[in-house]
Amino acid sequence: MIQKIIFHLKSEWYKYFIEMVVVIFGILIAFNLEQWGAERDNKKKEIEMLKEFKRGLSADLAEMRGFIRFHEYSIQASRVILDVIGKDLPYHDSLDAFFSYTHAFSSFSGRMGPVEQLKNTNLAIVSNDTLRLDIISMYDEVYPRIRMVEQVVKRDYEQLRDFDMLYFDSYDPKGVSKNKTIRAPFWGVMHPIRFSDLKKQPEYAALLRAKISTQLGLLTTQYKPAEKRLSNLLKAIALEIERLE
């Protein structure tokens, strides 16, 4: 009996070999198809994630550019008022918009949704290591530094606001600015009630100078470098999306 089985195997070996090859080949095909499908799904998820980052960072860049203009207006306003005080010039209603701009401060949003989503799923979904690290660095390093310096500017604003309560009317959101070089801020203009007395207060000029200093620090060390970095990061993300698609 055993001899018959051995003889049969020897005479039919090629059939079994072909069957084995077919089975192995089928397994390999199935494995490769499964792997291909997984890679395709991962690439789709990566593209969606990068597009989400692009939307969020684009909004952050637009906000950043708005804040840069905002603080530049404020610095200009403080310098004009300091010049008026230094030269002992009389009050003019064109100064009302400048007075209001001295109260400027900002709170950068830095939309954290995309990076939190990335951390809660799988960081490796962004396959480009350099790009992934640049994105995480923007959220975990750059944005926190910005918020820290913003607090210094806000502190100076609060000191100036408390001082101004003695010498100014409340904000007039309906007031029309007579200034031809700068539009009034959205919260309105400020009209001094005792400008002659205000000019004699050295603390007021000192507060304006201190605020200029912190605002310049915010612009030169945080906002403007972040604006450039955001712009470059968005270009890199756009190129990566184009490559993946």
Type of residue numbered 240: E
pLDDT of residue 8: 53
Give the C-alpha separation, 73 to 18, whole Å: 81
Give the C-alpha separation, 158 to 236, whole Å: 39
Give the C-alpha separation, 84 to 95, whole Å: 9
The angle subtended at Cα 147 by Cα 187 and Cα 104, nearest 5°, is 20
Is there a contact between 110 and 146 (Cβ–Cβ < 8 Å)? yes
Instruction: Annotate 99-146 with DSSP letters as a single string.
Output: HHHTT---------HHHHHHHHS-GGGS--HHHHHHHHHIIIIIHHHH
Which residue carries 């607090």 as its tokens?
151
Give the C-alpha separation, 224 to 4, whole Å: 88
pLDDT of residue 114: 72
DSSP designation for 95: G
pLDDT of residue 28: 56
Residues 160-167: contacts with CB under 8 Å, at least 24 apart: 160/102, 160/103, 160/207, 160/208, 160/211, 161/103, 163/201, 163/203, 163/204, 163/207, 164/99, 164/102, 164/103, 164/190, 167/192, 167/193, 167/194, 167/195, 167/197, 167/198, 167/201, 167/204
- Give which of 99, 218, 79, 98 is closest to 147, Cα–Cα: 218
* pLDDT tens per residue across all 245 residues of the chain: 555 555 554 555 555 556 665 556 555 555 554 554 555 677 888 898 899 899 999 999 999 999 999 999 999 999 999 999 999 999 988 899 899 999 999 999 888 777 776 666 666 788 899 998 999 899 989 999 999 999 999 999 998 888 788 888 877 766 656 666 777 888 888 888 888 888 989 999 999 999 999 999 999 999 999 999 999 999 999 999 999 88
pLDDT of residue 185: 83
The whole-model pTM stands at 0.79
189 forms bridges with which residues in the sheet?
172
Give the C-alpha separation, 10 to 243, whole Å: 55
pLDDT of residue 245: 83
Give the C-alpha separation, 14 to 186, whole Å: 87
Is there a contact between 190 and 100 (Cβ–Cβ < 8 Å)? yes
192 forms bridges with which residues in the sheet?
168
